[in-house]
Amino acid sequence: MKTRMFQTVLIASLLSTSAFAQFQISGTIKNDLGESMQGVSITIKGENIGSYSQEEGKYRITNLKKGEYEVEARFFGYESLSKIITVEQDVKADFVLKSSIFLQEEVTIHGIRAGRKTPTTYTNKSAEEIGKENYGQDLPYLLESMPSTIVTSDAGAGIGYTDFKIRGVDPTRTNITIDGIPINDAETQTVFWVNTPDLSSSVSSMQVQRGVGTSSNGGSAFGASINIETNKIEEKPYLTLDNSVGSFRSLKNTVALGTGLISERFTVDARLSRIVSDGYMDRASSNLKSFYLSGAYHSDKHLLRINVFSGVEKTYQAWNGVPESRINNDKEGMIDYANRNGLDAEDLENLLNSGRTYNSAMYHNETDNYQQDHYQIHYAYQMNRKWNVKVAGHYTRGRGYYENYRKNDKFSTYNFSPIEVEGETINRMDLIRQKWLDNHFFGGIFSFNYNNLKGLELTLGGSLHKYMGDHFGNVIWAQYLPNLNDGVKYYENNSVKYDGNIYLKGTYEVRNLTIFADAQYRHIDYTFLGINDIGDEIIDVDQQVFYNFFNPKIGLSYQISNNHSLYASYAIGNREPVRKDFQEQTVSNRPEHETLYNLEAGYQMKYRKGFLNANIYHMLYENQLVLTGEINDVGGYTRTNVEDSYRMGVELEVGYQPVKQFGVSANLALSQNKINNFVEYVDSYDASWNPLPQTKIEHGTTDLAFSPNVITGLTLRYMPFNNFEIGLINKYVGKQYLDNTSNETRILNNYFLTHFDVSYSFKFYKFKEITVGARINNLLNYKYENNGYTFSYLVGDERTQENFYFPQAGINFMARLVIKL
């Protein structure tokens, strides 16, 4: 009897345990580009149970009984997805959400970005990564940890005039768009990041494509392209106060706020920023202000968004660099340099006593002053499941000047006639001048997008832009001309440039194989006035150039399995010379356009705990423009076409996170960057300084300037407990040459940097999140220079070499407090 009773109790207990057992549904959520999604709502229909996806798209719903559940994943801008899941034990269920037309990336940049099946070489940077690194330095510093990338700063600390090179390619050859709108200056073809201060605080993602990449709006990518997205939907209202303070009296104050979704239709987002810094270099101060304002309307088939952002900068000039003798603390060499270059006693004292932070500019207002306003309007219409159209218009208004003090300058440069002072003829004097730029850039872009939902995607897109630039100079004070109340205009150089393109590109999937093709036609019509400021004279020459470029691309991508893929592509890019190449040349001496033949091939592996990207590339140039030292027919030093040059290398990216608390990522770039049959030209004088014909030196095969053969990066992240993270970021850059001669006396030495990050986030009272962070840059206090320039001349048989460098700051720090309401 007791035994039977025990069995009954045991069975009942087991049945009870089974009946009340609790299980969970967990998994990850990604979008149709394979990217993890955070903040996705996961709910069980009919029950008040749910969760939100966290970092890496992970979610978990717990305390579930056995049974059948309908689980739905929802996120604004994506199509909702439901799954029927039977729970008899713990279940893993992953979701892949398809983006709708109203995903902001889809509206603005998806048509020009590479996806996981696009056969090109690229690296993405997410909003989370950008947020961790944004301490107030200019946007190029967010690229520092990317493969094959070098960043530099005139002021030495990353605030003010900053720049970058990718694969050794200078930024004038990098196509940059913000929300699909080109922002490269139409004439210089570069982006002056100081004109868009704290843009990083409005960036939600970036993609860097290395090589020619896919067709984009604006100038041709000739080494890299950077696609920046600012539009990001915040479903709930928010207010963020982001403040940083640090070395060199650097200070950043940012206020960002948004309404969230209003009536499921409207959003408004805004940002106001101020950044100030004294800079590492002497007097290299920056005073930067900016704002960003965006409003959008969303409906079932339409999206309308208006973006307005602006920046105002006042930056003390530090772009002259530091003589090599000052870097080496060579007093005798500094005195020789002063004698060679006519420095007066005041300039010599500044040189001898300044240290490596020397700035040759001492005039109190040796500053760059500029304001740039951007206006964008985006519209998208979803015709049906297969077709959508996107159009956008833009207008950029820029105006400003840089002011500098000129000692003992020639009258002839400013169209002044010699004057008599106390019986002496004067044709030189001290003066203050301003060089102005007043410009307008406007146009539109469009794309028609088709997806047959069976593997074929097509995009027909294009753009048309007009640039109008007014360059002029004013003398606002002169030593012997005291009555210059309104200044004297001494040159004018106006220009108009039309730039239009149309492209058709598409992908077609056949099982595991994706075929990619892309063809772009681009037309340029450029009218300008040249030549000025050459040989101490003003010469006016009306010029006009036309270009018609065809830029084809083709590639294949093969998905070996869910975790492994291969790709290969071949692309041709053509690019026109920049303003300086035209402005300082006559028609008979005008350079040819450049052509790049680009081969890319790579392998990608991605698992839950790690990834590997490996690629090789070959970039063959035809008529690449480089400095040779040759003087043109009006006495100017300008770039010259070289017939045969190339870049080739291998790039590796790897990441591994063995446990939740620790992760490591690294990249390595090994390359050769060569000019075949390089010829150098050197100015020559006899012993009495009478000019002689330039000396021609044949060097054979040489290295391209500013192109190190080795660039590596290593990042370690450790999270000892939730929301507390420590990071160690390391960067090594190999030796670079200052010119194209491979001469060991004209180099930038290799350098190794270590940065240290620490941050802690927590919730307090009614605050959504408070983050306290600190960053120590150049932790090992390494003294290095990562940019410079050089020139030389022959007097008799003796060659004088003048090398200039841009020193970067030693150990320095930034502290940060972010409050989210």
Per-residue pLDDT tens over the stretch 119-150? 889 999 888 888 888 998 999 999 999 999 99
Per-residue pLDDT tens over the stretch 200-217? 999 988 999 999 988 888
Residue 101, pLDDT above cutoff 70: no
Residue 476, pLDDT above cutoff 80: yes
Per-residue pLDDT tens over the stretch 53-78? 887 789 999 888 888 898 989 876 67
CB of 390 closer than 8 Å to CB of 362: no
Sequence-ordered alpha helix ranges (H) in 489-604: 579-583
In the chain, the percentage of residues whose pLDDT exceeds 90 is 65
Contacts (Cβ under 8 Å, ≥6 apart) of 578:
172, 187, 188, 189
Sequence-ordered alpha helix ranges (H) in 57-114: 104-108
Contacts (Cβ under 8 Å, ≥6 apart) of 184:
172, 174, 175, 176, 190, 191, 218, 219
The structural domains of the chain, with segments of one domain joined by +, span: 2-97, 104-229, 241-321+359-820
From CA 110, how far away is CA 101, in angstroms rounded?
A: 10
The CATH code for residues 2-97 is: 2.60.40.10
Q: Which one-letter amino acid corresponds to residue 255?
A: V
In degrees rounded to 5, what are phi and psi of residue 705? -60, 150
Strands 223-229 and 174-178: parallel
Neighbour-count burial for 18-35, b at 16+ CB within 10 Å, e otherwise: eeeeebebbbbbbbebee
CB of 516 closer than 8 Å to CB of 457: no
Per-residue pLDDT tens over the stretch 410-454? 888 888 888 888 888 888 999 999 999 999 999 999 999 998 888
Task: Report how far Cα 497 is from the mean position of its chain's Cα atoms.
Answer: 24
How many Cβ atoms are within 10 Å of 676's Cβ, its own excluded?
A: 12
CATH 3.30.70.270 fits 241-321+359-820, yes or no: no
For the entire predicted model, the pTM comes to 0.87
Exposed/middle/buried for residue 48 (C-beta within 10 Å: 0-12, 13-18, 19+): exposed
* Residue 531: cis peptide before it, omega within 30 degrees of 0: yes
Sequence-ordered alpha helix ranges (H) in 189-304: none
Residue 104 banded pLDDT, cuts 50, 70, 90: very low
From CA 74, how far away is CA 41, in angstroms rounded?
A: 5
Task: Report how far Cα 222 is from the mean position of its chain's Cα atoms.
Answer: 14
Domains 2-97 and 241-321+359-820 share a fold: no
The CATH code for residues 104-229 is: 2.170.130.10
Per-residue pLDDT tens over the stretch 594-608? 999 999 999 999 988
From CA 24, how far away is CA 567, in angstroms rounded?
A: 39
